[in-house]
Amino acid sequence: MSDEFAAAVSAIVEPIAGDPRFFQRTGPHSLAAVVDAADAEAPPRRLMFRGVAPLSVAEAADVSFLDNREYLPALLKTRAGAVIVHPDLADKVPTSAVAILSTEIPAAWARVASLFHPLPPALPGVHPSAVIGAGVRIDPSAEIGPLAVIGDRAAIGKRTRIAPLAVIGAGVELGMDCRIGSHASISHAILGDRVYVYPGARIGQEGFGFTITPEGFLTVPQLGRAILRDDVEIGANSTVDRGGLTDTVIGAGTRIDNLVQIAHGVQLGRCCVMAAQSGVAGSTIVEDFVMMGGQVAVAGHLVIGRGARLAARSGVMQNVPAGAEVGGTPAQPVRAWMREVAWLRRVTRSQGWGRTPVKKTD
């Protein structure tokens, strides 16, 4: 292997936080600016920092963090110039580093990382290759990327960014500071401010609506809309169907992971979380602050109460009370489900089921 090739491979595999090939960086920033961003406390010192990095690779000009005691050995060995830690762990920070004290480590870290790596601003203007329909309203501060398509009568808000090859359908309205990823498509929809639709997502397409007749399936017109409130995020390749008669609504602040399906007429509340490969069937109401693990399946026409937590791979077939924690298929209270799993494990082991037979050799 040549020295040049080895150096190139090393550059590729080296763990880099905020690789400049992909992420813009601001700074350097003073310790005071970092502490202010973290909304934390630290002794006043005249230091400058260039960026953020994990404990294991951070250097003297980097800020790092610790929010899990399992990584204490990495903290003791770190070469970071500053570390965000809980006050209880301040004495574990090496003397070579400044302890930035916070009781909300993940939030402090998020704010500091955003200080060094803020979202890139929109570059105002419409690319010459974009296709713009009749009667479209585009704020002068918005960015329309190459080969994007904006349908007739659509409205694009201030500082909103439309990535290359995205398609915005006729009549769609996008609020301020939205980000629409490459190859995403949005139709029959109204989006609030600061909505992020990741690449490949489909918003507002026709729902799975049909009726059965003696001659076969008859499509039912889907006449509702998809309404995404402020600060919603829709992950890559996820789908949000428009409603049949009523609207499909995604509440403010809700975060939807990649590969999630939201069916027609679903009402998702505020600040809900849905992990990858989950799905909610038509006309179900999910109240505020509900959390769903990966591969959760929720049947249609149900009510999932405020603050409920649905364990990964749950099959939800009936209403879930507010604040409940359920798991299994069909879903039931988590403790009952875990007791059943433990009982089944004991029975199968006592009967010798599931044991790998020992192969005899001559």
Q: What is the mean pLDDT of residues 50-68?
A: 94
152 and 81 assigned to the same domain: no
Q: Are 117 and 100 within 8 A, CB to CB?
A: no
pLDDT for 354 equals 60
pLDDT for 3 equals 60
Average pLDDT of the residues of the chain:
93
Residues with active-site annotation: 264
Q: What is the CA radius of gyration of the chain?
A: 25
CA distance 265 to 283: 4
pLDDT tens digits, 262-293: 999 999 999 999 999 999 999 999 999 999 99
CA 116 to chain CA centroid, nearest Å: 20
CA distance 122 to 358: 64
Residue 356 lies in a domain: no
Among 48, 45, 44, 43, which Cα is nearest to 30's? 48
Number of Cβ within 10 Å of residue 20's Cβ equals 9
Given pLDDT bands bounded at 50, 70 and 90, which one contains residue 128?
Answer: very high
Q: What is the pTM for the complete model shown? A: 0.87
pLDDT tens digits, 204-257: 999 998 999 999 999 999 999 999 999 999 999 999 999 999 999 999 999 999
pLDDT for 9 equals 47
Residue 303 lies in a domain: yes
Looking at the structure of the chain, the number of domains it has is 2
Residue span of the structural domain in which 96 resides: 3-116
CB-neighbour burial class of residue 70 (10 A; exposed 0-12, middle 13-18, buried 19+): exposed
Residue 32 lies in a domain: yes
- Rounded alpha-carbon distances, angstroms, from residue 19 to 53, 92, 117, 283, 331: 11, 29, 10, 43, 43
136 and 106 assigned to the same domain: no
CA distance 221 to 361: 67
CB-neighbour burial class of residue 25 (10 A; exposed 0-12, middle 13-18, buried 19+): middle
More confident residue, 217 or 344: 217
CA distance 61 to 180: 34
For residue 134 the two structure tokens come to 């009749």
143 and 194 assigned to the same domain: yes
Q: What is the mean pLDDT of residues 110-118?
A: 96
In this predicted structure, the answer to whether residue 117 has a pLDDT above a threshold of 50 is yes
Share of the chain above pLDDT 90, in %: 83
328 and 265 assigned to the same domain: yes
Q: State the DSSP code for 92.
A: G
309 and 256 assigned to the same domain: yes
pLDDT tens digits, 298-330: 999 999 999 999 999 999 999 999 999 999 999
Tokens 């500091």 belong to: 112
192 and 231 assigned to the same domain: yes
79 and 194 assigned to the same domain: no
Residue type, 183: H
Q: Are 180 and 197 within 8 A, CB to CB?
A: yes
- B/e letters for 252-261, b = 16+ CB within 10 Å, e = fewer, are bbbbbbbbbb
For residue 126 the two structure tokens come to 């419409």
CATH number of the structural domain spanning residue 34: 3.40.1390.10
Given pLDDT bands bounded at 50, 70 and 90, which one contains residue 350?
Answer: confident
CA distance 303 to 295: 18
Q: Are 49 and 82 within 8 A, CB to CB?
A: yes
56 and 184 assigned to the same domain: no
149 and 49 assigned to the same domain: no
Q: Are 118 and 58 within 8 A, CB to CB?
A: no
Q: How many CA atoms lie within 13 A of 304 on its CB side?
A: 37
Among 136, 218, 217, which Cα is nearest to 172's? 136
